[in-house]
Chains A and B, each alone.
Chain A
């Protein structure tokens, strides 16, 4: 190939790449616009009156107009729902991580007969949609006397969260080196001591991943509260949202304020911890 032909193909390659990169940028910008526009519109509308929402939906609102938000705060049980969600999610997470780490640690660090079977037993729960077992679960919760209590929700979320957590944690704990453990054992440390003081501090990154993977579906869940919780003062945020969306049907500013306030906690945490969220929520799907 002559020098001029080479220069020509280089240049056409560069123009081609510029065109391609331009197209990619256009696709990405258009998509980001589509992703963010509904959320921005929701937040704008939370500060508007009905008339403003219907006549100038895209206009910047007067952000000092907090009357819709005040209405949500004072006239609905929003704060109660928020606290309930925090209690249920926090308790579930604590139990999932405790029980999940216990099982994963035993499977990953000790050889015992049936350990393969135990792992399979947990993993089988990964793919089973627990929603379809809702009738027996309902009967079981009634027999245990926990219907219409937050305990029912915590139980179901722990059951839902354990399989993935055991799966992720076992994989991680297996990769930890044996040397530290062996050295401690030589020094006469008990098994419990080794687990608590030596191994668990090393497991923290996997706990963060498992925690995030569980926190989002639990915080957002609507199906199980719908079945298990009737009392208004026990409702979680997504469930409570359906209650006051039903009450303020004609006051659109208040509706948007309710949606905005409900979305705010998780959006804020996501913006701060986006990388951890993305890693955590795709952890089961990305090997």
Chain B
């Protein structure tokens, strides 16, 4: 059936490898390369117009009102990244350390902390939106019930609290992920090392900072990098909780929403603009790739080989 054995074998390998390879080439590599090309053209709806060099990039970075929108969204992403570093990865590390002791009930706590992770962001977003409703939301109802009605406020409607509310919803949703990645890292620390530490010091702090933290560096590399990529791709939660315009008054606008609005338009006026949208996508993409590359390199260096 295959002819000579050599070509038969080659044919067999090709039959295995070509279909998946072609699929990835057509639907991953080609679109990503095209995104770069698209950014250099003017677009009229779905039709490609003239080659315009860097005009789209110039527009996004330097021309008003785009420039202000770009920097506003970008700074929000930066804030989201650092806030989630503390609220998601920081708390995740503490929880992992607690779970690592294997005290009674640890199994149950482990299942509970990961439960929100399997839920759709859409469900989480709507749930928190209902909870944070200014009048009927359970948060404000509870505050009023315990006499702290003065603290009750329209969490998602106020410029000063809206972004933080989204960040907390995200941390609740995803904290289980870094927790379990850190936990897996801790469980791989060899027992002999821990025994040796126990002989040297009673201090929990020394143990954590000098032994555990350096030894879970590979886990940290992964969760830090994933959080970075996730924070600068943030879209679904703000879309559900704050809407496409990043309400109120752009206080929750992030690059993901801004990119979507620019590329596909929105009801409040913007038309779809593939050229400007592509330029934004390319800039976000390059920023993520370059920073994530350096971040990974830096974090890898502090990993210790046992």
Contacts and interface: CB of A to CB of B under 8 A. Distances in A.
B222 interface: yes
Interface in B268-294: 274, 277-278, 281, 284-285, 288-289, 292
Q: Main secondary structure on chain A at its contact with chain B?
A: helix
Interface in A239-287: 239, 241-242, 245, 252, 255-256, 259, 262-263, 266-267, 270-271, 274, 277-278, 281-282, 285-287
A159 B24 contact: yes
Given A13-B202, A28-B95, A35-B112, A267 B229 contact: no
Interface stretch (A69-77, A99-107, A174-182, A202-210): A99-107
Interface stretch (B29-37, B69-77, B147-155): B29-37
Interface in A99-136: 99-100, 102-103, 105-107, 110, 112, 118, 121-122, 124-125, 127-136
Nearest to A192: B12
Contacts of B13: 106, 110, 112
Given A27-B98, A31-B95, A57-B141, A134 B263 contact: yes
Contact of A216 (B25, B118, B184): B118
B117 A99 contact: no
A140 B30 contact: yes
A41 B138 contact: yes
Contact of B17 (A42, A118, A128, A274): A118
Interface stretch (B57-65, B119-127, B157-165, B189-197): B119-127
B123 A241 contact: yes
B23 A27 contact: no
B57 to A, nearest CB: 15
A156 B27 contact: yes
Given A27-B95, A27-B98, A106-B17, A278 B110 contact: yes
A136 B30 contact: yes
Interface string A53-78: 11001100000000000000000000
Interface string A21-40: 10011011101101110110
A285 B224 CA distance: 11
Interface of B: 8-10, 12-13, 16-17, 19-21, 23-32, 34-35, 38, 46, 94-95, 98-99, 101, 103, 105-106, 108-123, 126-128, 130-131, 136, 138, 141-142, 172, 176-177, 180-181, 184-185, 202, 204, 218-219, 222-223, 226, 229, 233, 235-236, 239-240, 256, 259, 263-264, 274, 277-278, 281, 284-285, 288-289, 292
Interface of A: 13, 16, 20-21, 24-25, 27-29, 31-32, 34-36, 38-39, 41-42, 53-54, 57-58, 99-100, 102-103, 105-107, 110, 112, 118, 121-122, 124-125, 127-137, 139-140, 142, 155-156, 158-159, 162-163, 166, 191-192, 216, 219-220, 222-223, 227, 237-239, 241-242, 245, 252, 255-256, 259, 262-263, 266-267, 270-271, 274, 277-278, 281-282, 285-287
